[in-house]
Amino acid sequence: MAEYFVGHKEYFPGIGKIHYEGPTSDNPLAFKYYNPDRRVGDKTMREHLRFAVAYWHSFGADGTDPFGDATHIHPWTADATTAMEAHEHKLDAAFEFFTKLGADFYCFHDRDMAPEGDNPGQSEKNLVHMVSLAKERQKATGVRLLWATANLFSHPRYMNGAATNPEFGVVAQAAGQVKAAIDAAIELGGQGYVFWGGREGYMTLLNTDLKREKDHLARFLAMARDYGRTHGFKGVFYIEPKPMEPTKHQYDFDVETVAGFLRAYGLEKDFRVNIEANHAELAGHDFQHELETAAALGVFGSVDANRGDPRNGWDTDQFPINAYDTTLAMLAILRAGGFTTGGLNFDAKIRRNSVDPADLFEAHIGGMDAFAAGLLAAQRIIEDGKLGAFVKQRYDSFDRGDGKRFEEGRMNFEALAALASAPGAEATDKVGRTSGKQERLENLLMRYVLGVE
C-alpha cells in the first residue's frame, strides 16, 4: 500500500507507517496483535478482518457535544478558504491516515465527502467532484471503499423522517440524495451500500401512521435497489439496525426485526444487515446475539465495530477493546463463513478531550488489536473443537431415532405426544435433568481468551 501524503501536505507529521511489533512492544504506535500477513486458518489476518475507517467520526466530528463547542481543531479545515477546499484537504488527510495505519477500506456518507450545495443539483455536483478525487486516491494507494451511504438525518428537512416522512416532497429529496450516493458507490467500486434509518421511526404514535410509513420505507428501498441494479451496482445493500436515538423508536429496531421486515416486503434477496455493537447493546442484546441471529436468518453482512457504555444507554461509539466481546464476535463471524463483501468498520470516535493527533491512531490501533486478538482466540476455539463438540453433543438426541424423525418433519404431533408415555420413556422426574455446564464453558472460554489453549 503506497503512502498517500508523498507530494502533498502532510497532516499527521511525525507519525509514520504503523507496524506490527508484537505483544511485548511498548510502542503506543505499533500493533501488538494485528499482523496483517499472518495466516489464521485459511486466510491472512487482513483478509479475515477487512478493517475500515469511518470518514465521519475520524475526519468530520470535532468533539462537539450537547454541552460544549468543538475541541478537535482539524488542520485540514483550518487551512482551507472554501467548504469545497476543506473537503479536498480532508480527503488528503484521510488517505494519509488510511495508508499510515494500514486500513484497507473506508466508509463515508455523502455529506462527509462533499458539502451540501444550495440546491440538489449543486450538492450532486459537489459529490461527483469529490468522488473523482477519491477515485484517484484509491487507485494510487490500493485503499478500497467498503460502503457508502447518504446522510438522511442531519438536515432539518428530515426532522420528521426521510423515506418515512409524512410529506411526499421530503421523500423525493431523500431519493435525490440516495441516487447520487449510489452513483458514488458505483463509481468508487463500493462493496456495499448502507441504509441506516436514523429518523425512519417516530417520536410519538399519536401523529404517526405506522403501517403507511413502513410501506413507504419498503417501497423506497425496493426502488433504490432497482436503480442500483440497473446502473451497475454489484455490491450488497445493507440495513443497519438500531432501536432508537435520534427517534424514540426506529423501524429497523434489531436484526430480527429487520429480517422480518425484509421477508414481509420481499427484499431479502438484495439486503443484508450491517450490525453495530453499540446498537445491539441499545436494543438490549449482546453483540454476539445480533451476529448469530443474522447468521441464523441468512442476512449476515457487515459490522460496525465499536462499543457502548453498559451504564449509560447512549450511542457513545467508543473504540472496541474488550477481548471477550471481540472473541465471541469473531467466533460468530467465522462460523457464519467470514466476511465476503463486508468488513469491520470502526464506527467509533475518540473522546472530546482526546486532542492529540496521535490519539486517532492509537484508538484505531487498539480496535484493530482487539479484533486481531479476538480472531486468534476464536480460531483457537474452533481448532480445539471442545466447545463445538459440547454443543453438538447437547443436541445428540435429535441425531438419531425419533428425535431425528421429529427434526426432519417425519412425525405427527400425536405420535410425538405418545412418546411421552411409551414403554421405555424416561420417568417424568428424570427427563431433562442434564447440566448445561455454563460455568465449565465460561472457564474454558477464559482460557481461550487469555491464550492458554
- Verify binding: residue 304, Ca ion, rule CB under 5 A: yes
In the annotation, is 48 catalytic? Answer: no
Q: 112 touches which of ligand XLS, Ca ion, none (CB within 5 to 8 A by kind)?
A: none
- Verify binding: residue 242, ligand XLS, rule CB under 6 A: yes
As a whole number of angstroms, the distance between CA 162 and CA 175 comes to 9
Footprint (CB under 6 A) of ligand XLS, residues 338-397: 347
Of 48, 57, 109, 364, which one is the catalytic site residue? Answer: 109
As a whole number of angstroms, the distance between CA 403 and CA 421 comes to 15
Q: 110 touches which of Ca ion, ligand XLS, none (CB within 5 to 8 A by kind)?
A: none
Among residues 183, 240, 254, 325, which is the contact residue for ligand XLS, using CB under 6 A?
240
* Residue span 249-278 as binding mask against ligand XLS, x where in contact by CB under 6 A, dash where not: ---------------------------x--
- Verify binding: residue 196, ligand XLS, rule CB under 6 A: yes
Q: Tell me how far, at minimum, the Cβ of 363 lies from ligand XLS, in Å.
A: 16
- Verify binding: residue 149, ligand XLS, rule CB under 6 A: yes
Q: Tell me how far, at minimum, the Cβ of 315 lies from ligand XLS, in Å.
A: 5
What does the H/E/C string look like for the chain?
Answer: CCCCCCCCCCCCCCCCCCEECCCCCCCCCEECCCCCCCEECCEEHHHHHCEEEEHHHHHHCCCCECCECCCCCCHHHHCCCCHHHHHHHHHHHHHHHHHHHCCCEEEEEHHHHCCCCCCHHHHHHHHHHHHHHHHHHHHHHCCEEEEEECCCCCCHHHCCCCCCCCCHHHHHHHHHHHHHHHHHHHHCCCCEEEECCCCCEECCHHHCCHHHHHHHHHHHHHHHHHHHHHCCCCCEEEECCCCCCCCCEECCCCHHHHHHHHHHCCCCCCEEEEEEHHHHHHCCCCHHHHHHHHHHCCCEEEEECCECCCCCCCCCCECCCCHHHHHHHHHHHHHCCCCCCCCEEECCCCCCCCCCHHHHHHHHHHHHHHHHHHHHHHHHHHHHCHHHHHHHHHCHHHCCHHHHHHHCCCCCHHHHHHHHHCCCCCCCCCCCCCCCCHHHHHHHHHHHHHCCC
In the annotation, is 89 catalytic? Answer: no
- Among all residues, whose Cβ is closest to ligand XLS? 196
Footprint (CB under 6 A) of ligand XLS, residues 318-337: none
Q: Which stretch binds Ca ion (CB under 5 A): 84-92, 146-154, 343-351, 362-370?
A: 343-351
Give the nearer residue to ligand XLS in terms of CB position, either 179 or 242: 242
- Verify binding: residue 315, ligand XLS, rule CB under 6 A: yes
- Verify binding: residue 96, ligand XLS, rule CB under 6 A: no
As a whole number of angstroms, the distance between CA 32 and CA 413 comes to 56
Of 112, 183, 304, 347, which one is the catalytic site residue? Answer: 112
As a whole number of angstroms, the distance between CA 296 and CA 81 comes to 51
Q: Which stretch binds Ca ion (CB under 5 A): 308-316, 349-357, 401-409, 442-450?
A: 308-316
Footprint (CB under 6 A) of ligand XLS, residues 276-295: 276
Footprint (CB under 5 A) of Ca ion, residues 272-291: 276, 278
Among residues 92, 304, 325, 369, which is the contact residue for ligand XLS, using CB under 6 A?
304
- Verify binding: residue 200, ligand XLS, rule CB under 6 A: no
Give the nearer residue to ligand XLS in terms of CB position, either 163 or 378: 163
Among residues 96, 256, 347, 369, which is the contact residue for Ca ion, using CB under 5 A?
347
Give the nearer residue to Ca ion in terms of CB position, either 45 or 283: 283
Give the nearer residue to ligand XLS in terms of CB position, either 242 or 285: 242
Site residues for ligand XLS per CB under 6 A:
109, 149, 194, 196, 240, 242, 276, 304, 315, 347
Catalytic residues: 109, 112
